[in-house]
Amino acid sequence: DDTVVLSDLAKRMGVKGNELIKRLMEMGMMVTLNQSIDYETAELLASEYQFEVEKAAFEEETIFQSEEDAPEQLRPRPPVVTIMGHVDHGKTSLLDVIRHSKITEKEAGGITQHIGAYRVPYENGDIIFLDTPGHEAFTAMRARGAKVTDLVILVVAADDGVMPQTIEAIDHSKAAGVPIIVAINKIDKPGADLDKIKRELAEKDLVPEEWGGDTICVPVSAKQETGLDELLEMVLLQSEVLELKANPSKLARGFIVESKLETGRGPVATVLISEGTLHTGEPVVSGIYYGKIRAMFDDMGKAVKEAGPSYPVEIIGLSGVPMAGDELMAVADEKDAKQVSEHRMEKQRSKDLSKTTRMSLESLYEKM
Ligand code: GTP
Ligand code: MG
């Protein structure tokens, strides 16, 4: 796993790069200046010049100390609820009536194409909702949604039933060990058949409570705005059972749920905070990038100065666009953030390079 870039080794020893390349060739290795060689090879080369190679393994762990939280540091946090289900079954519509918003109207072709994260004040606290696309092309997003969530609301249209992406959502939720609450939507429609839907759910091991199973099914209509209170009550009940807690008073960690490059603003990422509190001005690392939080915005686009456990925030200030699913970590010192980022980039670069070398060798063999 330990490697060194050949040009670095040459520089450190004050030897011409070409000399090392030639020496490696004599040893039967074709390596260019920008490529990495393994530790043993580096040691061998260095010894010929009376140098010793010392492993200065960079340990991320020294920067990200993960001390266990003491019980008294833990505070209740809002539940993170992901809405999943087959395309067009009414996920976004349901969220719209819960939030009194009109996201559905703004979506191109009425299809959700990203994970949206929203805060909904309800009774004594907040509930955080993640909206996911039901289109078959978005498997990865459904998997990601299930991973960062405490509860899943599985939306099934009463006039359509359990469909391929319903099943996929069930699988993702089960794989992530997340409890499912079923919202049987569109019960206002003429073709709605509750019993048929429950039968199909039971076939997928989601046996409704009223049939002796333990799956809560709430009939709702996003259009007529019925059943919503029951649904939210069930969400609260289920989250109480989970006793969700986190330590808000330490450096934040979270997950990128979506990210993009915006003209004028640069890299923009929506982060779901899992623990600690993120503040503006703090240095962070995410994936291979780092930066200082220049500004943060809540789900309504309002600028905020901090975000605690479970809350989604949009952040700007990163050096690049991290990948959705990447972890984001706040660090005490910007130098540390930069070091981690550079180290990760280096690692990725040598991985990419070894991939291309292997590939070009393979194509060489094919020609022989
Ligand atoms: P994707 O994000 O593309 O997966 O779809 P979605 O699950 O978010 O569905 P969306 O909320 O966009 O709704 C799809 C269509 O169903 C829209 O035309 C809604 O108006 C309609 N719809 C949603 N809920 C109801 C409902 O309760 N009753 C009726 N009659 N129509 C509904
Ligand atoms: Mg949608």
CA 9 to ligand 2 centroid distance, Å = 53
Q: What is the distance, to the nearest Å, from the Cα of residue 317 to the centroid of all Cα atoms in its chain?
A: 18
Tell me the residues surrounding ligand 2 (ion) with CB < 5 Å: 91-92, 112
Tell me which residues have their CB closer than 6 angstroms to ligand 1. Answer: 85, 87-93, 104, 110-112, 133-135, 185-186, 188-189, 221-223
Nearest ligand atom owner, CA of 220: 1
Residue 18 is labelled as binding a ligand: no
Phi, psi for 330 (deg, rounded to 5): -85, 145
Nearest ligand atom owner, CA of 109: 1
Contact present, 45 and 24 (Cβ < 8 Å): yes
Collect the ranges in the chain with pLDDT lower than 70: 1, 56-57, 356-368
What residue ranges in 78-212 does DSSP mark as E strands? 80-85, 116-122, 125-131, 151-157, 180-185
Atom of ligand 1 nearest to the CA of 111: 3
Q: Which of 93, 103, 136 to mutate to test the pocket of ligand 1 (most atoms within 8 A of CB)?
A: 93
Instruction: Specify the pTM.
Output: 0.81
Residue 174 is labelled as binding a ligand: no
Look up the ipTM and state it: 0.99
CA 259 to ligand 1 centroid distance, Å = 25
pLDDT at res. 141: 84
pLDDT at res. 366: 62
Q: What is the distance, to the nearest Å, from the Cα of residue 263 to the centroid of all Cα atoms in its chain?
A: 23
Contact present, 176 and 82 (Cβ < 8 Å): no
Residue 267 is labelled as binding a ligand: no
C-alpha distances (whole Å) from 298 to each of 6, 254, 272, 311 are 46, 15, 11, 8
Could you tell me which of 271, 253, 265 has the C-alpha nearest to residue 324?
A: 271
